[in-house]
Amino acid sequence: MKPRSNLKSKTSQVTVSPVMKTRSVPQFVRLLLFVSAGGRCEFDGCNKYLLEHHVTLTAGNFAEIAHIVAFQEDGPRGRSEVRPADIHQADNLMLLCPGCHKTIDDHSELYPVATLRKYKTSHEQYIHYMTSLRPENRTSVLMVTANIGEQAAFIPFDQVIEALAPHYPVSRPGKLIDLTSIPILDTASLETARETIRRGLIQLYDAGGETQTVKHLSIFALAPIPLLVDLGTRLSNKITTDFYQRHRDTESWTWKPDGVPVSYAFSIVQQGTDPSKAVLVMSLSGKIRVQDLPSNIDQQFTVYEFTLKDMVPHPAFLRTRADLEAFRTSYQALLGSILDSQGIVKELHFFPAVPAPMAVLCGRELLPKVHPGLLVYDFDKQKDGFTFQLKVNAHGHE
């Protein structure tokens, strides 16, 4: 019998080494990244299509997959405070052209993690939005801007695109009626602004205009309230029209997805002695008191107040499309109630403290041969009171 060896077996001497990370991105993650990026470079402002050669147009894969937090800790942005547990997860990857990949890695101090994630998120959200569009979701965009006080209004078009989803604009930048070069100082300048609105809408609605083929209009407007009411009376009721509101809290035009529903109420706050004379006060964005009305509104006038139900008037109350639609219905009911109460009222003195889209609707919802003309007033800070601005009729003007 051979003597037993004192040496341990080779198996017992093998040291198991730790699993080494591979630079290979899993196939499914690669697929997910290419689809999310739309096959385009995700560097802000590049957007190069990466599945064909930019000169010969030969099909091929010309993309590079870049890590936001580097594969190695000593790589670009590799010592990020929050290092992903899986360095190859899709949230940590960007699809880039070779030039942009080199740029972000050679100048990592200019392109930190937060910046690259912002680029990635913005690009992929845009791709998701664009690939969800359908031909029936096209809309013609109308933007109306004017000076409000001493401030010029401006509507960023990227906010318009965001607010429209799932609709999308048929052209960029749509139709712009820019009144900012017209200082609204007196009756003459106000009439110039009204004429500019009239001419702009003729171009929009005439044969060959966008609305003749699209049959859908989306309105974004920032202007003094009287001009918005005037705008509303000039809008066609034969074209489906959506209205948008600028929200102060988010500084965007996107309607809130939900919220506590807003209700409206109207009542008579002063019973007049002359049934042919009526006043409509809209206390929505702020409170207008009877004693704040000009001296020509005396005891002969019946004063109707339209306000928020169970809520103090404030500028940020309008949050959802449903709230705007509820306003439309309540406003129509109020006009009907005034006619039922007083019979024929040729002129309705109108004092609005309302958000922009509601001001437009106040003009658009007037019915020819049914509703009275509106004598529109606005608050004048210099005179510290309300002054008459203009008169509008249903689809007619004075």
Domain boundaries, the chain: 27-131, 135-244, 264-397
Candidate from 14-28, 96-110, 120-134 with smallest mean pLDDT: 14-28
Confidence tier at 395 by pLDDT (50, 70, 90): low
The reported pLDDT for the residue numbered 39 is 96
Note whether 352 and 282 are within 8 A (CB).
Answer: yes
Cβ contacts of 357 within 8 Å, gap of 6 or more: 219, 221, 243, 244, 245, 318, 324
* Residue keyed to tokens 């107040």: 305
Instruction: Please compute the mean of the pLDDT values over residues 137-141 and round it to a whole number.
Output: 91
Domain covering 135-244: architecture: 3-Layer(aba) Sandwich (3.40)
The reported pLDDT for the residue numbered 5 is 41
- CA-CA distance, 64 to 52, in Å (whole number)? 13
The stretches of 290-351 forming alpha helices (DSSP H) are 321-342
The reported pLDDT for the residue numbered 11 is 39
**Token representation of residue 59:** 């099909």
Residue 231 clears pLDDT 70, i.e. is over it: yes
The reported pLDDT for the residue numbered 212 is 79
The reported pLDDT for the residue numbered 14 is 39
pLDDT digits over 364-388, tens only?
999 887 888 999 999 988 788 999 9
Concatenated DSSP letters for 45-77?
TT--B-SB-TTT--B----EEEESS-SSTTSTT
> Largest alpha-carbon pair distance within the chain?
133
Confidence tier at 264 by pLDDT (50, 70, 90): very high
For a pLDDT cut of 70, what percent of the chain falls above it?
A: 92
Residue 16 clears pLDDT 70, i.e. is over it: no
**Token representation of residue 393:** 């009729």
The reported pLDDT for the residue numbered 322 is 96
Confidence tier at 4 by pLDDT (50, 70, 90): very low
Amino acid occupying residue 307: T
The reported pLDDT for the residue numbered 183 is 87
Instruction: Tell me how many degrees the CA angle 262-267-272 measures, rounded to the nearest 5.
Output: 155
Confidence tier at 12 by pLDDT (50, 70, 90): very low
Whole-angstrom CA distances from 35 to 40, 44, 66, 128 are 9, 18, 15, 9
- CA-CA distance, 283 to 308, in Å (whole number)? 7
The reported pLDDT for the residue numbered 22 is 64
Residue 228: CA count within 13 A, CB half-sphere: 28
- CA-CA distance, 295 to 292, in Å (whole number)? 9
Give me the chain's average pLDDT, please.
Answer: 89
Model confidence, pTM:
0.69
How many helices (H) and strands (E) in the chain?
Answer: 10, 16
pLDDT digits over 172-196, tens only?
888 999 999 998 888 999 999 999 9
Note whether 127 and 162 are within 8 A (CB).
Answer: no
Distance of CA 163 to the CA centre of its chain: 4
The reported pLDDT for the residue numbered 21 is 57
The stretches of 132-186 forming alpha helices (DSSP H) are 157-164
